[in-house]
Amino acid sequence: MNIERVLTFSKTLLEKVTEDGDFAVDATAGNGHDTLFLANLVGEKGHIYSFDIQQSAIEETYNRLNQAKKIENVTLVHDGHHHFHQHLPLELKGQLSSAIFNLGYLPGGDKKIVTTPDTTIEAVKGLLQWLKKGGIIVLVVYHGHEEGAVERDALMQYVATLDQKNARVLKYEFLNQKNNPPFIIAIEKSTP
């Protein structure tokens, strides 16, 4: 296959902008796959801040990082991503290279615990202030469940309001796949 799958493309975007020694955020730690991916990109000199509201997700992510010997350069935060600024040093404002959101519920977890439009949008708005120029926020939008469809609509409405002078907004979506496959919204900050 030549056109990248959605999850592969989310990693390609992160890889483009996240380099050795950089700082980045995983807004939805879940089982820790994206946190580990980012931790590998930033190496020992960089740092990742990873958030989840579920203790079980934080533990799962801790175990994955620990096994991979990557726990040293990750801060795991048991809190909502919209509170991210309470957990990052102020000197990182304007310095983040990337942030990833994998929306929806934790695979293999409680499907009633899902990301919500208000807090997701609050976090995205805040993170845009903390990104450096050229930094990217990647959102993988799962809209096959009822709350996911509501979150999709709110997000699409919000990102359409972003001024093209300040941000470039991309939607990456397969148009002929069944059962509401996930799609990507990527926001690249164009100003410092």
Q: Which residues bind ligand SAM (CB under 6 A)?
A: 28, 30-34, 51-54, 57, 80-81, 102, 104, 106, 113, 115, 119
Min CB(130)–ligand SAM separation in Å: 16
Helix pair angle (55-67, 33-42), 10° resolution? 40
**Closest CB to ligand SAM among residues 113, 169:** 113
**Closest CB to ligand SAM among residues 81, 164:** 81
**Closest CB to ligand SAM among residues 76, 91:** 76
Min CB(126)–ligand SAM separation in Å: 12
**Closest CB to ligand SAM among residues 114, 131:** 114
C-alpha torsion 115→116→117→121, nearest 10: -60
Burial class, 56, CB count within 10 angstroms (exposed 0-12 / middle 13-18 / buried 19+) = middle
| Alpha-carbon span 174 to 8, nearest angstrom | 13
Min CB(52)–ligand SAM separation in Å: 4
| Alpha-carbon span 48 to 41, nearest angstrom | 10
Residue nearest ligand SAM by beta-carbon distance: 30
Structure tokens at 65: 């990082």
Min CB(98)–ligand SAM separation in Å: 13
CA 52 centroid distance within chain: 11
